[in-house]
Amino acid sequence: MKTKEIVFLGTLIALVTASTYIRIHIPIGTGGLIHIGTLTMFIIALRFGARYGAIASGVGMALFDILSEWVIWAPGTLVVRLIAGFVIGKVALSSKGQGELLSKNILALIAGGVIIVVGYFVFEALIIGTGWGAVASIPGNLAQIAIGFFALFILPSIPKLETLSTDFASKSLKK
């Protein structure tokens, strides 16, 4: 990776982490969060593709878990969100470009949503050890995914990767 790509990826990771802090705690089942980190994750994966979507989502949300009271969830979050971000980015790629077809974007978010719900259920039931009690966290995950679907409305206003310039200094000197 080039330096600009590393800086861009770091910025995306920070955006996912920060947006995950905008949340509501749900006091049902084993607890849980509704946050806009999923919205940010969906936008990144749809617009910037599988690589950026996977790394920014997995690392960004796992970093949130590590920095908050949800540290036990960090390994599961890393794996589940990494896979979901990758799949969303791959499915949203079409002959028209990354995230350019609404039908593929909807399919991508559904696929990613299924991965998130099933992934967290398996992690909570088997690794954390709540067994079938993990069913109680499904409504919160579905709520996050529903909020994430707002990405479809925001996506057109997000610049494409090809048009982004991380060399702001040279642009401002030309004015």
Task: Look at residue 173 in the predicted model and tell me its pLDDT.
Answer: 39
- Reported as a single tens digit per residue, the pLDDT across 68-95 is 989 999 999 999 999 999 999 999 999 9
Task: Look at residue 68 in the predicted model and tell me its pLDDT.
Answer: 93
Task: Look at residue 24 in the predicted model and tell me its pLDDT.
Answer: 80
- Reported as a single tens digit per residue, the pLDDT across 161-174 is 888 764 444 454 34
Q: Give Cα separations from 71 to 55, 134, 165 (angstroms).
A: 18, 17, 35
3-156: which CATH architecture? Orthogonal Bundle (1.10)
Residue extents of the structural domains in the chain = 3-156
- Buried-state track 97-116, b at ≥16 Cβ within 10 A, e below 16: ebbbbeebbeebbebbbebb
- Reported as a single tens digit per residue, the pLDDT across 105-122 is 999 999 999 999 999 999
- Reported as a single tens digit per residue, the pLDDT across 43-58 is 999 999 999 999 999 9
Task: Look at residue 164 in the predicted model and tell me its pLDDT.
Answer: 79
